[in-house]
Structure 1
């Protein structure tokens, strides 16, 4: 994996946004970018929505209520996004960085684990289940799409949110999977702190 200069990354903080709106912007950015376009990392919170990745099965949506359901082009299964969850979109030129999608997944999981450790939470990854866990409870979710060597989508981290909608689905396709957020673990550093930490980590790790 080649480490490109972090100055080639632009960090963008977006106000709470509908998932479809941000998704469309990501796709347009990726389709229209050129070989020297700067990579971008977007931070956002979404209005409540269930998203179905390419591997998702309709039966994993257990209860249909007023929460919108969106079929997405990202990898993975079904998940939930809502206020109090930090979503981080990685719009990276993997070919330019000589990075495979497998390396990106491993890199991202490691970054989240390090971030949580810095806030007093011991977390780990699980083989065959992309994301990050605290014990047997899942706290962070991954899903990417690669188009001509460029990636979009990214990861989400549960910070301080209403977790009840996760009971309406089989999260990531796993029946009975328990979900947790930082607040439940007695940690709530706030979104701005986490965004600053993640920005610093990317600058350090992708120098």
Structure 2
């Protein structure tokens, strides 16, 4: 597998990060390394290309940013890990569906590390626990390369999800690792982030050998 760089960006402004992802994608060539960016965002709603205004119910004091990924509206905030996947799909002979599978399986494996049984839903991208969404994903492919990625709810305030129809689904319940685990079993935020990166690397490597 080609070089894969890991970047841990801590708490990063959404709009600045989006610009950086686009700039990297536009500037990269066949020798540029693929990258995974692990970070959290200050509170923000992001509305995908197919997003409909009626799914943003009452944003209040949280900004809404229009973005160029697929999907509808979602929420990012502290206590949620976001991983952006800047991957040259042509290099790995990966299609978008295959990359979605990689992301979903990595999230499922990460959650299994902590005793949480989760699964993707073929009808609605993301990962769910007993019908409640715990992780979202949205991608954009430009020049054969992906950006945007996934978000995993770890230990965060879920109230802002009530201000939207998450991912365009009215009444969709959202959960987090903290809601599902006893306080004594709740892992450190950094440990979850590292587990997520590890599983993403493994799934990407496996997909590259298929």
TM-score if structure 2 supplies the norm length? 0.93
**How far 1:64 moved relative to its partner?**
3.1
Cα RMSD (Å): 1.1
Matched, 1:36 2:31: yes
**What is the aligned partner in structure 2 of residue 123 from structure 1?**
118
**How far 1:71 moved relative to its partner?**
0.3
Flag the 1:172–1:202 CA change in 2: closer, same or farther, 3 A: closer
5+ residue gaps, structure 2: 206-210
**Which residue, out of 163, 186, 189, partners 2:187?**
189
User: In the aligned structure 2, how far is the partner of 1:64 from the partner of 1:115?
Assistant: 31
User: In the aligned structure 2, how far is the partner of 1:202 from the partner of 1:140?
Assistant: 14
CA contact (8 A) 1:45 1:84 kept: yes
User: In the aligned structure 2, how far is the partner of 1:113 from the partner of 1:169?
Assistant: 25
TM-score if structure 1 supplies the norm length? 0.94
User: In the aligned structure 1, how far is the partner of 2:15 from the partner of 2:57?
Assistant: 22
Number of matched residues? 202
Matched, 1:146 2:141: yes
Partner of 2:22, secondary structure, is helix
- Render the CA deviation track for 1:66-92: whole Å, top value 9, x for unaligned: 100000001111000000000000000
- Render the CA deviation track for 1:27-57: whole Å, top value 9, x for unaligned: 0000001111000000010000000001110
**What is the aligned partner in structure 2 of residue 23 from structure 1?**
18
User: In the aligned structure 2, how far is the partner of 1:12 from the partner of 1:111?
Assistant: 18
Matches within 5 A, 1:170-189: 170-186=165-181, 187-189=185-187
CA contact (8 A) 2:48 2:71 kept: yes
Matched, 1:73 2:68: yes
- Render the CA deviation track for 1:1-38: whole Å, top value 9, x for unaligned: xxx24xx0000000211110100000000000111100
**What is the aligned partner in structure 1 of residue 208 from structure 2?**
none
Matched, 1:10 2:5: yes
Flag the 1:50–1:203 CA change in 2: closer, same or farther, 3 A: closer
CA contact (8 A) 2:105 2:203 kept: no
**How far 1:118 moved relative to its partner?**
1.3
